[in-house]
Chain A
Amino acid sequence: MSVLKEFEEATPLKNPWIDSWKEEGKKILGYFCSYIPDEIIHAAGILPVRMRATGCTDTPMGDAYLTPTACSYTRCCLEMANRRQYNFLDGAISCNSCDQIRRLDDNIRIKAPFPYQYFIGVPGNINDLTIDWFKHELNKFKTSLEENYSVEITDDKLRSSIKTYNESRALLKELYMLRKNPKPPISGTDIMKVLLTDVSIPREQFNELLRKLLKELDGKEGESNHKSRLMIVGSQLDDPEYVKIIEDLGGLIVVDSFCLGTRTFWDQVDETKDPLDALAEHYMTRVSCPRMSGKQSERVDFVAELVKEFDVDGVIFQRMKFCALWWAEIFIIRKKLKELGVPFLDLEREYVLSGAGAMKTRVQGFMEILEAK
């Protein structure tokens, strides 16, 4: 069996790894944003999994409490929390990623609380003072985990977790480098499965799978019948089907800048520093998301560099409807891409893939533009 099959098995919200973890009587915490350092949760011996709302069908509770103009990801999460569909989790960690996640946390706490809920205040900009503050926040978080779960999170444990996570980062980067190949040995759809596994199973097992995958791909001749090489930019995307629709139309996704993708693993955490210092510094200074003010030009440059490095023909913005952060951000990136003569497509979407027909039509039109170039 190809190791990719194993990655695929990890993509549902609740997977066999989670089941065995639970059977061993161990704890699982959901976390809402890539600004939450899962290394700390890992160091507590707890399994961190990224909060998703896979399987969400409708959102009456989300509409009523978060309102219909909140993004559908947060509405879906509230819905699923209310329907106790996160019962396999022992708690949830949020932060002020965006206004909607912030209020999602409130609404869950008040209407459908988890047994343990924790909030991390992530600063909105980056300088020495805010990094210092973030360290203070992380320290409080660490203490809360220690008290709540009666564990001690020593510096050694943190160091070891950082090392394990850095290994994931390095392996993922290695995997991405293969995509620079004119015939990449792995599709964007399969990469999505890898990225979902990254946030859904125990870290050590993920690294093992990744190593197996890299070995399997070593020297493998890739797909060459694609019409163009594409990049995906935007916020949380956790549905491989979305990418598959694009790839079925001949656009191969070769790189990305979104929450589960490059931004989380492009840079390493410094293993030589005090672990909490290193984590605070890393999460605050790595490639940022638009919630971080003052770094807009760095983010735009990051996209532009990847476009060049991965020989990208066109960029697809996957913009969740009603997401203020990303609409404003995309407005600026578009300007830069125009200057560089890189075509782009702004695809508004809902969390649950709906209107696939309309999406196909737009992507098809975009592919034609790229082919005509």
Chain B
Amino acid sequence: MDEETYQKYKKLARGSWGKEFSLLKMMFNGFLGLMREEEDMEFELPMETILNILLNIGKARKQGRKIIMYPFNYGPELFVTMGLQPLMQEIFSVGLAPFHMNEPYLDFSNEIGYGDNPTLCNASRPLVGAYMQGAAPVPDYLFFLSTPCNSLAMNYQVFESLSNVPTYNMDVPYWAIEEDSEFYDGKVVEYMTNQCKDFVTWLEDQTKEKFEIEKFQQTMLRLNQARENIRDFNETLKNVPCPAGSQTGFWNWFFMSTIGGTQEAVDVTKFVRDSAIENVKEGVGGIEDEKLRIAWPYTHVFFDRDLFPWLEETYGAIAILDILGNYQVEPHNTSTLEKCYDSLARGTLDYSMIGSCRGPAEYYIEYVINYVKDYKVDCVIYPMQYACKHAFAMARITSEAVREATGIPSLIFGCDPYDSREVPHEAIQAKIAEFIEQVVL
């Protein structure tokens, strides 16, 4: 990042953000520090967008915007339409992990007898500890989904019960929307659409604001432009060499989950897409000398900033897309109000991790097999969160199915992406090194 931009953001962040946003401010400064070291000017727009997102949340109270907190597997398009400040809760656990700042809140959660890592997931467990220490913002509204996991639903229930914040919960059905699927149920989209409408009514009641249809349609239009950009970007990654680095796809998820439906999201996803297209044209890879392509059908190990650079430098190995970055919501027709709702419902059903994990294991198996085939992958790595029972319990059957369908080997290991003490960087590196050297190469 150039010095001028750095100084601009340093200045913007000055002053108190209030105690409840002190963690967010620390995170902001942490990222700003990292971005200052980043010399690649190409990524200035994504970097600035990330900083703007954090700044906006931090300023919401002072600027009189009501805050709605929600989980990582939902887009904020309705909140954008209603003029609410979206706060994706996992911004904390994911954003604090690289700076090892989850640990004190996890320790505190342990001390007060609120779960442990293999039982409740640390993606949202620190929230309860942080809340009880006054270090987490208490939103004006809370929203969560019944999937992909119990951990998330329970953490939100506990948070709701401690904070008494008005809460809306949406049920995500199990069945498929593709007519050719053996799990197809023709009523799923209608069920989701009705729930989306019900949620809108709830938001109106709570905020005492009218839901403006025109605004909603514009939001959905922008949302679909961003979806198009991501679809095109994902297509470029099929090229050899892969035109983007191991972490680029992840940004798309981050933008869709925090500012989906805004013009900023359209601009930044277009930027990411165009950079990749440019690289394809020039035959340039996301890393210098690509030798190995890895499917990463789970989350990043968020605390471990060095993992992907190490893989790239040591083995010329690139992780194509992680499960979140592998955002697979197709652009939809949004020409009428009903179609907007339809698109909203489908977007919820297909959202990153929801689409592949809300139903039977076959969804996930199919997703990984397609991933391996489409992206010409050499091996699959599953760095499973110990507490992520729904996903961890699919890894073995999936790896067997992938081996059978494609002959590609897999590495499955348990870790905690949010807490470096569970399985440290060195141990993760050693497992991956052994796998690559003894099985893949």
Instruction: Determine how close the nearest CB of chain B comes to the CB of A113; give it in whole angstroms.
Output: 12
1/0 per residue, CB under 8 A from A, across B189-204: the answer is 0010011001000000
Q: By the criterion of a CB under 8 Å from any partner CB, how many residues of chain A are at the interface?
A: 48
Q: A110-B397, A125-B169 are in contact. Are A69 and B149 (CB under 8 A)?
A: no
Roughly how many angstroms separate A41 CA and B149 CA in the complex, as a whole number?
28
Interface assignment of A361: CB less than 8 Å from any CB of chain B: no
Q: Which residue of B lies closest to A127 (CB)?
A: B198
With both chains docked as a complex, state the minimum distance between the C-beta of A300 and any C-beta of chain B, in angstroms: 8
Pairwise interchain contact B157-A102, C-beta atoms closer than 8 A: no
When the two chains form their complex, are residues A325 and B171 in contact, meaning their CB atoms are under 8 A apart? no
Which among B17-25, B280-288, B382-390 touches the partner chain? B382-390
B residues 368-390 touching A (CB-CB < 8 Å)? 384, 386-387, 389-390
Is A353 close to B, CB under 8 A? Answer: no
A119-154 near B? 1/0 per residue, CB < 8 Å: 101011101011001001000100000000000000
The distance from the CB of A249 to the nearest CB of chain B, in whole angstroms, is 23
Whole-angstrom CA separation of A262 from B201 in the bound complex: 36
Q: Is the CB of B119 within 8 A of A121?
A: no
Question: A297 contacts which chain B residues (CB < 8 A)?
Answer: 161
Whole-angstrom distance between the Cβ of B152 and the nearest chain A Cβ: 9
Q: Is the CB of B155 within 8 A of A103?
A: no
Inter-subunit contact B118/A322 (CB<8 Å): yes
B389 in complex: contacting residue of A103, A105, A334, CB < 8 Å: A103
Cα-based distance from A140 to B172 in the complex (angstroms): 18
| In the complex, residue of chain B having the shortest beta-carbon distance to the beta carbon of A62 | B393
Taking a contact as CB atoms under 8 Å apart, the answer to whether B113 and A67 are in contact is no
B397, A121: Cβ atoms closer than 8 Å = no
B174 beta carbon closer than 8 Å to chain A: yes
Q: How far is the CA of A78 from the CA of B411 in the complex (A)?
A: 23
Query: Does B146 reach chain A (CB closer than 8 Å)?
Result: yes
B342-368 toward A: CB 8 Å interface, digit per residue (1/0)? 000000000000000000111000000
Q: Interface segment, A92-100, A185-193, A216-224, A237-245?
A: A92-100
B191 touches A129 (CB 8 A): yes
Docked complex Cα distance between A346 and B113 (Å): 10
Which one, A104, A125, A328, A334, contacts B146 given CB within 8 A?
Answer: A125
| A216→B167 CA distance, assembly (Å) | 49
Assembled-state Cα–Cα distance A111/B120 (Å) = 27
Q: When each residue 119-131 of chain B gets 1 if its CB lies under 8 Å from chain A and 0 otherwise, what string results?
A: 1110000000000
One digit per residue, 1 when the CB lies within 8 angstroms of any chain A CB and 0 when it does not, for chain B 299-340 equals 000000000000000000000000000000000000000000
Using a CB-CB cutoff of 8 Å, which residues 291-331 of chain A contact chain B? 291, 293-294, 296-297, 321-325, 327-329, 331
CA distance A103 to B394 in the complex (A): 7
Query: Given contacts A99-B390, A331-B113, are A69 and B118 in contact (CB under 8 A)?
Result: yes
CB < 8 Å: which of B157, B173, B195, B414 contacts A328?
B157
A65 to B161, CA, bound (A): 34
Q: Is the CB of A324 within 8 A of B169?
A: no
When distances are taken between beta carbons in the complex, the residues of chain B under 8 Å from A323 are 119
| Known contacts A124-B169, A293-B156, A322-B118; A102 and B390 CB within 8 A of each other | yes
With A and B bound together, what is the CA distance between A358 and B171 in angstroms?
A: 40
Most A CB within 10 A of own CB, among B146, B150, B174, B185: B150
Partner of B396, one of A64, A100, A329: A64
Residue of A nearest to B198 (CB): A129
Q: A257-298: contact bitstring with B at CB < 8 Å (1 yes, 0 no)?
A: 000000000000000000000000000000000110110110
Query: Distance in Å from the Cβ of A329 to the closest Cβ of chain B?
Result: 7
**CB of B205 to closest CB in A, whole Å:** 14
- Report whether over half of chain A's contact residues are helix, strand or loop; otherwise say mixed: helix
The answer to whether B360 and A106 have CB atoms under 8 Å apart is: yes
Q: Are A100 and B397 in contact (CB under 8 A)?
A: no
Name, among B119, B155, B396, the residue most crowded by chain A CB atoms within 10 Å (CB to CB): B119
Alpha-carbon gap, A296 to B142, bound state (A): 15
**Contact present for B392 and A69 (CB under 8 Å):** yes
Does B414 lie within 8 Å of A69, measured CB to CB?
Answer: yes
| Cβ contacts under 8 Å, B389 to chain A | 66-67, 69-70, 99-100, 103, 322, 324
Q: Do A324 and B392 touch (CB < 8 A)?
A: no
- In the bound complex, what is the Cα–Cα distance between A109 and B401 (angstroms)? 14
Residue from the list A64, A67, A99, A294 in contact with B150, Cβ < 8 A: A99
- A10–B96 Cα distance when bound, in Å, is 54
Contact call B161/A296, Cβ cutoff below 8 A: yes
The answer to whether B435 has its CB under 8 Å from any CB of chain A is: no
Q: Are A291 and B150 in contact, with the CB atoms below 8 A?
A: yes
- CA of A334 to CA of B114 in the docked complex: distance in angstroms? 11
Task: Assess whether A293 is in contact with B174, with CB atoms less than 8 Å apart.
Answer: no
The yes or no answer to A3 lying at the interface (CB within 8 A) is no
Q: Which residues of B contact A236 (CB under 8 A)?
A: none
A143, chain B: closest CB distance, angstroms: 12
Q: Which of A110, A125, A296, A327 is within 8 Å of B120, CB to CB?
A: A327
Contact B169 A294, beta carbon cutoff 8 Å: yes
Please tell me which one of the listed residues B119, B158, B195, B384 contacts residue A332 in the complex, with CB atoms under 8 A apart.
B158
User: With A110-B397, A332-B158 in contact, is A98–B175 under 8 Å at CB?
Assistant: no
Identify the closest chain A residue to B156 (Cβ). Answer: A293
A328 to B393, CA, bound (A): 21
B83 proximal to A (CB < 8 A): no
Whether A327 contacts B115 by the Cβ 8 Å rule is: yes
Q: Are B118 and A110 in contact (CB under 8 A)?
A: no
CA distance A65 to B147 in the complex (A): 21
Question: Smallest distance from the beta carbon of A114 to chain B beta carbons, Å?
Answer: 15
Contacts of B151 in A (CB 8 A): 99, 324
Q: Are B120 and A328 touching (Cβ within 8 A)?
A: yes
Most chain B CB within a 10 A radius of its CB, from A106, A109, A123, A323: A106
CB atoms of A290 and B157 under 8 A apart: yes
Determine which of A130, A290, A322 lies in contact with B171 in the assembled complex, contact meaning CB atoms within 8 Å.
A130
Inter-chain CA distance A336–B172, complex, in Å, is 30
- Residues of chain B in range 143-180 having any CB-CB distance to chain A below 8 Å: 144-147, 149-151, 153-158, 160-161, 167, 169-175
Partner of A322, one of B119, B157, B360: B119
Name the CB-closest residue of A to B364.
A106
A107 within 8 A of B: yes
Given A106-B361, A293-B146, 8 more pairs with CB closer than 8 A: A110-B361, A119-B174, A124-B153, A133-B187, A293-B144, A294-B157, A328-B155, A332-B157
Q: List 21 A-B contacts (CB under 8 A).
A: A67-B396, A69-B118, A69-B387, A70-B392, A98-B150, A103-B389, A107-B393, A110-B361, A110-B397, A111-B397, A124-B146, A127-B198, A129-B194, A129-B198, A133-B171, A136-B191, A296-B160, A324-B115, A324-B389, A332-B157, A334-B113
Task: State the 7 A-B residue pairs at the shortest beta-carbon distance, nearest first.
Answer: A124-B146, A328-B154, A103-B393, A121-B174, A106-B361, A99-B390, A69-B118
A interface residues (Cβ-Cβ under 8 A, vs B): 64-67, 69-70, 96, 98-100, 102-107, 109-111, 119, 121, 123-125, 127, 129-130, 133, 136, 140, 290-291, 293-294, 296-297, 321-325, 327-329, 331-332, 334, 346
